[in-house]
Chains A and B, each alone.
Chain A
């Protein structure tokens, strides 16, 4: 069996999120070096603040300032920081109950080693040099044995409120398409199209995914199909996709390769877009170094009879 393929796959997206009044005030406060909590109707102060009481689900909007100093309620020593975490040197994760708050905030605690950290220790916020209105405006906490500072009693109203955050996310994978699709991709490298036949219903699937969606059984018998095929249905694309070097309008079609029982997708070229039709006979066009057909063009054969492909629409 040829080698199963693998390739790096990075999924990356900058999530843009709107904040709402409570989170907006909290994150704007961090930009201004002010930590805010929210009061519940039973008199507790939640930090970080939330819009709804986690116990009663009541709306919450009464913002109160708390101190940038607090007490560690629990912690865990992280000797190997991972990408994206607040510090790139060993640190403690800590839940910190800030002075004036009844709940704890999760963040990093910069300390020389696990021996320097304990539950109940006193810490204070270390502010980030550049602050934008995000949880990372707190660079981390640091040990602090001084007095609890006076706070001004900020009410949560600021000039130029932060109303949204951009939270970039990135995950790295090593993608493998599995046995069946690896075999398909490997065969394409020699410009052959290989599907798999279902042992039960005898249909040939291309590209193969290793299972028959009708019978729910494993497929494994490889069958070469094409190279020619029939357009079973199509659409005319009028909007140019970003980073796609194809002039519009163009035709995108379902093509049933000869011998296949499932149509695959492809672009149709070599014919004016408004002359493409169901039943058109086509063949693949490969470009130098291409890993799959660039497009399909008419073969010049007479059109296929509808009855020959009506089951493949």
Chain B
């Protein structure tokens, strides 16, 4: 079914992503970002039709942490609100669906995560199959390293090429004042071979927010709205040994359903926390050398968990807003080795 209303990203804001933000609670970290995104449109929280957030209790180690963050959006008197225990990109998907129904004309979407209180490599083991895998505590870097080795064995990349992805990403991030790791960064030692420090994302705290609006409301709020032409998300089997780790059929299918292959894109913001995952995604999305990949620096420059995927959509949209892109692809992932993938296609009005 084609979308019955046009929906656009009309504003995007993000925090400076930092290794630790001890002095701030989650809501204290989030509020400046919420105010920044609202200020771009002139909207107040009371003007927003629907609010949706993405975060994870496992990062902070406390239950129902998103309810505390709600203080930041002025949740009294009662608002129309929802939450996903996923990256904010999936919260955006829910908000897009809500706007499609016509129940709301505007939506505030935010995602945030503080990885600094815990050890994120260990924390992420808790999302794995609890019977066969989680009891072995394979950490997130180890699982990504298995995927990297599979790619190397298949002849699709090598350590030098992966280092090239890392250096290009950090160089692109040099102009991104929010990024955590910028400029020239040594590849460093192996964390889990074949992945070196430089192949892995920084661990950090951060938040991001976007505002969606439908139809004419979008044009009122933004000079050049980033219209969501399609958005879709797909998931693969949880068993790592069932999957071909050198490919991402779920990304390809999501992209197809989002209309990504109908016409070329000029920009792609890929949520690839590990260098090797960019190799997989470029193949799945059939991105050629002419496509500008991760001009923001991507997740290798800043990977605030639960916000990094939403940031990809926000960065892609912001480039459309600024007239630096006419048709951009944004991708978000969740789970080990690109298990779950979301693809959105954003377009500006013709010039």
Instruction: Please list the residues of chain A having a beta carbon within 8 angstroms of any beta carbon in chain B.
Output: 4, 6, 9, 11, 15, 17, 19, 23, 27, 46-48, 50, 54-55, 73-79, 82-86, 93-95, 97, 103-108, 114, 119, 134-136, 165, 167, 169, 171-181, 209-218
Contacts and interface: CB of A to CB of B under 8 A. Distances in A.
B45 interface: yes
Contacts of B145: 76-77, 93
B264 interface: no
B149 A75 contact: yes
Contact of B240 (A50, A82, A106): A106
Interface of B: 22-28, 31, 34-35, 45, 58, 60-62, 68, 70-77, 116-119, 121-123, 125-126, 130-139, 142-143, 145-150, 153, 190, 192-195, 237, 239-242, 245
A179 B28 CA distance: 8
Nearest to B145: A76
Contact of B23 (A108, A178, A213, A215): A178
Given A74-B245, A93-B142, A119-B153, A173 B60 contact: yes
Contacts of B135: 84, 134-136, 165, 167
A176 B25 CA distance: 7
B137 A54 contact: no
Given A9-B117, A76-B146, A216-B31, A176 B22 contact: yes
A48 B118 contact: no
A83 B245 CA distance: 26
B37 to A, nearest CB: 12
A82 B132 contact: no
A119 B73 CA distance: 52
Nearest to A94: B146
B137 A9 contact: no
In the complex, the 8 A-B pairs of residues with the closest C-beta atoms, listed nearest first? A178-B25, A216-B74, A104-B241, A76-B145, A54-B237, A84-B137, A77-B193, A211-B71
A165 B136 CA distance: 14
Contacts of B147: 74
Contact of B132 (A119, A135, A177): A135
A85 B136 contact: yes
Contacts of A15: 130
B190 A107 contact: no
Nearest to A168: B135
A77 B145 CA distance: 8
Nearest to B149: A74
Contacts of B28: 178-180, 210-211, 218
A173 B245 CA distance: 32
A136 B74 contact: no
A213 B134 contact: no
24 contacts: A6-B22, A9-B117, A23-B131, A76-B145, A78-B193, A82-B121, A86-B136, A93-B146, A93-B192, A97-B241, A105-B132, A167-B134, A171-B61, A171-B119, A174-B116, A178-B24, A181-B25, A209-B68, A211-B27, A211-B71, A216-B45, A216-B72, A217-B74, A218-B31
B138 A93 contact: yes
Contact of A136 (B62, B130, B136, B241): B136
A213 B76 contact: yes
A132 B149 CA distance: 33
B122 A171 contact: yes
A209 B27 contact: yes
A212 B149 CA distance: 50
A84 B126 CA distance: 12
Given A11-B61, A54-B237, A179 B74 contact: no
Nearest to B153: A119
Contacts of B74: 212-217
Contacts of B146: 74-76, 93-95, 106
A223 to B, nearest CB: 17
A54 B239 contact: yes
A46 B240 contact: no
Given A76-B194, A209-B27, A214-B76, A17 B149 contact: no
